[in-house]
Chains A and B, each alone.
Chain A
């Protein structure tokens, strides 16, 4: 339990660090989303409730550090969690490469969910198609980041093979 909490807390600290880092090193075109690998890992490895808590916490903190509309990022993160729940018994993450690929795919899914939510809920949205411009580079960078996150989590002895 302590290991799981520490892992999620480290992830949240990483999001805070990311915000400070972006103000020094501008990466406008591609901003990796560490929330997605953490939500996937937590749902697949830690369990459903832990996955949901991770999704809500990351969504909440990312919304705090973003100018996005209220509830938007939490909504997308919980959608990612539900997708993970659906795939939990259908997908096996056998290596960090699979994990990275899944993370990248989920970034694309997140963009599509946010776009659908914006178009459905707001009716009229300005320049919302920007999301599509950024989704592919974001997915690639998140995929690379997921490689490190997976290795780090495995190293932290909360391995997929042990508990999954």
Chain B
């Protein structure tokens, strides 16, 4: 009897979850509300859970730092040589410098336009890519707000509750960012693949694009502000059928090792 009842209830739940999956407005609205209430309730638990993990992380990294001081000294010497070589590339970097200055001005002009947040959690499945940050509605975070780091874009806020915000990272399969190639006329859509590497779509084969080109947000998707670094082109394949080139992009941020991020409130 109990078994039959459980099966009937399970079929009901299956039907409802299927309707949710197919994005039927009435069901989705109710479900999202319930999720927000749950998040408000369990939010502090996630913060508490992340505290010891962060402490262990801090201790672990401090220990590694101590052990690796000698090795790092040697590495620093090597790095110095590399930097001396890189000094010769200054003219090439001037352009980038201009862009970064722009970004800095952008941040200085709007001192209250960004919210610093700490990463407290990550997607529990590896089918999708998201991070949880410790700032929510109470700090003024809203859905679709872009999330960045000084290195480049991270993603956008997709679910916001009192305590936390779920950020869809740009390598999620559902993510798309309108970008252009720095110093060139080419534009495209940077799509997540669910893996570390991103794909730049809709770039014509005769568009100017080379390995090593930097991709910058265009601001035309109305989500990400213009001029934020998105990634670097690592491979361009024009030897394939069709109109468009196959372009692989490496994001500037290592999404697996994000500690702090900035949520852009207004831009």
Contact = CB atoms under 8 A, between A and B. Distances in A.
Contact of B173 (A15, A73, A128): A128
Bin the interface of chain A by size.
Answer: 35 or more
A47 B2 contact: yes
Contacts of A7: none
B89 interface: no
Interface stretch (A49-57, A98-106, A147-155, A156-164): A49-57
A16 B46 contact: yes
Nearest to B168: A67
A50 to B, nearest CB: 9
A140 B258 CA distance: 27
A138 B126 contact: yes
A130 B173 contact: yes
A127 to B, nearest CB: 5
A134 B126 contact: yes
A137 to B, nearest CB: 9
Given A20-B46, A23-B122, A78-B10, A126 B31 contact: no
A13 interface: yes
B38 A67 contact: no
A52 B174 CA distance: 30
A131 interface: yes
Contacts of A13: 45, 49
Contacts of B215: none
Interface string B1-24: 011011101100110111111110
A127 B194 contact: yes
Bin the interface of chain B by size.
Answer: 35 or more
Interface of A is mostly: helix
Interface stretch (B127-135, B142-150, B218-226): B127-135
Interface in A67-95: 67-75, 78-79, 81-82, 85, 88
A41 interface: no
A71 B2 contact: no
Given A20-B49, A21-B53, A82 B121 contact: no
Nearest to A32: B124
Given A23-B50, A24-B53, A65 B10 contact: no
A125 B128 CA distance: 13
Interface in A14-71: 15-24, 26, 28-31, 33, 47-49, 51-52, 55-56, 59-71
Interface centre among A52, A73, A78 (most CB of B within 10 A): A78
B125 A66 contact: yes
Given A16-B46, A24-B56, A126-B191, A75 B17 contact: yes
Contacts of A79: 14
B78 interface: no
A82 B128 contact: no
Contacts of A49: 2, 5-6, 9
B6 A52 contact: yes
A149 B219 CA distance: 48
A83 to B, nearest CB: 11
Interface of B: 2-3, 5-7, 9-10, 13-14, 16-23, 27-28, 31-32, 35, 38-39, 42, 45-46, 49-50, 53-54, 56-57, 119-132, 158, 166, 168-169, 172-174, 191-196, 256-258
6 contacts: A52-B9, A64-B39, A67-B174, A75-B17, A127-B192, A134-B127
What 3 pairs between A and B have smallest CB-CB spacing?
A71-B20, A26-B256, A48-B6
